[in-house]
C-alpha cells in the first residue's frame, strides 16, 4: 500500500520532470505507475487510499488456548528437556494431537525457548589464551603427547615431547606406556636442568589434558619458576607448534611402516628422530637452518654467508636476476597465539616443520 506522503512525492517528481521537458507517460513508467494512476492521484482527495482493509484470519491458526497448551506441555517436568521432534510422537502414542512439530518449533522460537531448555546449561565463553613472544631460545616452550602404535592391537605408547618455539628444537622427550602427570613432571625437570632455564620465567604451553594440569605437574612448574599456559578445550590451533612437529614425525620417510614391537624399540626410534630433527633437518620457517643452529645462534653467521653467496652470484651474472636475491634475513620474533594486531604488524611465521 502506497501512503499519501509517497504519492505526494511521486506527483512532485513527475511534475518537475514534465516541466523540464520529459514525456509524462515515460516519466510515469520509470516510477512504476500509469498515467491514469497519476491523474487519479492529482484529483481532490486522490492522495488517500480508499480501499477497504480486510484482515484475514487463517483457518488453521491455533487458538490462544492451544498456543498456551503447547507452551505448558513443552515446559512440563516430563517434556522440558526434550525437543518437539520427540514430544509430538510421545503425545501421539497417548492419543493426543495438538499441533505439528513445526508449529511446536515455531512457538518455542517465538518464546525464545528453542535452545537450552531444561537442564541444559548456557555455553561458557572461553577466552583465547594469552599471547607470548619469543625473541631468543628458552623463552617459550610448547609440549604435548601423541600416540605411537604398538604391535599389540589396541595398545599405544605415549610420546611426551617438548620443543622450543623460537628454535623449533626438541629440548626433551620420553616414551611411556601411559599418561601421568608424574611422567610429565619428570620430563620438564630434566629439560629445564639440561637447558638451564630454572627460575628464568620460562613459559610452557600445552593443551588441557590431565597430565598437563595435574597437581604434580603444576607443583613442579611452580618450583622451577615456569609459567604455565593452556589451550582452549578442543582447540588444536592454540598449540600449533607441537601439532606441526607431530605431523613431521609421523610423516617422515623414516617413520616405521609397522607398529613398534616394544617400548625400547619406540624409544630407540624417537631418539634417532630427535637427533636428526635437531641437527640435520633444514626447517622451512627458519630459513632452512637446523633447529640446533637456530638454538645456539649459529644461524646468524650462516644466513649472512648465504646472503653474500647470492649477492656475489648476482654480481657475476646480473642477467639471471630480475629483482632482489632470495631473502635470507633472520626472523627475530616468534609469536605463540598472536593477537590480530600482531598479525598485521609482523609477518606470521610458518608453522610447517
350 has pLDDT over 70: no
Residue 346: pLDDT over 80: no
Mean pLDDT of 120-139: 81
The CB density around residue 281, as the number of other CB atoms within 10 Å, is 19
Question: Who's near 278: CB < 8 A, 6+ residues apart?
Answer: 169, 170, 290, 291, 292, 295
Cell numbers representing residue 238 in the block: 592454540
Residue 112's pLDDT is 86
- Which residue, among 242, 252, 261, has the nearest Cα to 159 in the 3D structure? 242
Share of the chain above pLDDT 70, in %: 90
C-alpha cell at 110: 517465538
pLDDT band at 122 (very low <50, low <70, confident <90, very high): low
The predicted pLDDT at position 43 comes to 84
How large is the average pLDDT for residues 236-253? 89
pLDDT score at 51: 67
- For 9-45, the pLDDT digits (tens) are 888 888 999 999 899 989 999 888 898 988 888 888 7
**What integer pLDDT is reported at residue 353 of this predicted model?**
55
Distance CA 254, CA 353 (A): 15
Residue 50 pLDDT exceeds 50: yes
pLDDT of residue 119: 65
Range scoring the smallest mean pLDDT among 48-52, 97-101, 223-227? 48-52
Q: What is the mean pLDDT of the chain?
A: 88
pLDDT digits (tens, 9 = 90+) for 173-204: 999 999 999 999 999 999 999 999 998 999 99
- Pick the more confident residue, 57 or 270: 270
Which residue would you say has higher pLDDT here, 319 or 134?
Answer: 134
Rounded CA separation 184/161 (Å): 9
Candidate from 100-109, 156-165, 205-214, 252-261 with smallest mean pLDDT: 205-214
Please report which confidence band the pLDDT of residue 253 belongs to, taking 50, 70 and 90 as the band edges.
very high
Name the least confident of 97-101, 257-261, 275-279. Answer: 97-101
pLDDT of residue 330: 92
Task: Check whether 163 has a pLDDT greater than 50.
Answer: yes
Lowest mean pLDDT among 70-74, 168-172, 266-270: 70-74
Q: Is the pLDDT of residue 301 over 50?
A: yes
Q: pLDDT confidence of 3, banded at 50, 70, 90?
A: confident
What is the predicted pLDDT for the residue at 344? Answer: 39
Amino acid at each position: 500500500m502506497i501512503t499519501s506522503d509517497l504519492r505526494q512525492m511521486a506527483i512532485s517528481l513527475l511534475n518537475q520532470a514534465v516541466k523540464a521537458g520529459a514525456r509524462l507517460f515515460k516519466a510515469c513508467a520509470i516510477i512504476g505507475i500509469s498515467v491514469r494512476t497519476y491523474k487519479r492521484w492529482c484529483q481532490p482527495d486522490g492522495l488517500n487510499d480508499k480501499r477497504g482493509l480486510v484482515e484475514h484470519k487463517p483457518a488453521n491458526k491455533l487458538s490462544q488456548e492451544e498456543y498456551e497448551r503447547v507452551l505448558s506441555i513443552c515446559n512440563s517436568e516430563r517434556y522440558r528437556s526434550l525437543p518437539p521432534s520427540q514430544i509430538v510422537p510421545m503425545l501421539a502414542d497417548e492419543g493426543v494431537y495438538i499441533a505439528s512439530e513445526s508449529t511446536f518449533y515455531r512457538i518455542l522460537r517465538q518464546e525464545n525457548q528453542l535452545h537450552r531448555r531444561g537442564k541444559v546449561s548456557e555455553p561458557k565463553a572461553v577466552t583465547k589464551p594469552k599471547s607470548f613472544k619469543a625473541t631468543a631460545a628458552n623463552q617459550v616452550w610448547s609440549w604435548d603427547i601423541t600416540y605411537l602404535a604398538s604391535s599389540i592391537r589396541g595398545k599405544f605408547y605415549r610420546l611426551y615431547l617438548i620443543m622450543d618455539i623460537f628454535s623449533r628444537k626438541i629440548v626433551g622427550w620420553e616414551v611411556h606406556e601411559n599418561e601421568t602427570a608424574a611422567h610429565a613432571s619428570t620430563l620438564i625437570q630434566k629439560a629445564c636442568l639440561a637447558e638451564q632455564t630454572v627460575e628464568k620465567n620460562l613459559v610452557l604451553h600445552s593443551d588441557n589434558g590431565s597430565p598437563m594440569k595435574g597437581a604434580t605437574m603444576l607443583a613442579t612448574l611452580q618450583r622451577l619458576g615456569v609459567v604455565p599456559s593452556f589451550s582452549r578445550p578442543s582447540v588444536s590451533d592454540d598449540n600449533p607448534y607441537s601439532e606441526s612437529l607431530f605431523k613431521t614425525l609421523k610423516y617422515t620417510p623414516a617413520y616405521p611402516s609397522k607398529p613398534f614391537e616394544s617400548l625400547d624399540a619406540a624409544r630407540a626410534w624417537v631418539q634417532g628422530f630427535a637427533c636428526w630433527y635437531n641437527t640435520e633437518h633444514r626447517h622451512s620457517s627458519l630459513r632452512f637452518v637446523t633447529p640446533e643452529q637456530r638454538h645456539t645462534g649459529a644461524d646468524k653467521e650462516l644466513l649472512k654467508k648465504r646472503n653474500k653467496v647470492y649477492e656475489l652470484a648476482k654480481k657475476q651474472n646480473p642477467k639471471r636476476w630480475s629483482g632482489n636475491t632470495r631473502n635470507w634475513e633472520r626472523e627475530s620474533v616468534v609469536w605463540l597465539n598472536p593477537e590480530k594486531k600482531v598479525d598485521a604488524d609482523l609477518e606470521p611465521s610458518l608453522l610447517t616443520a
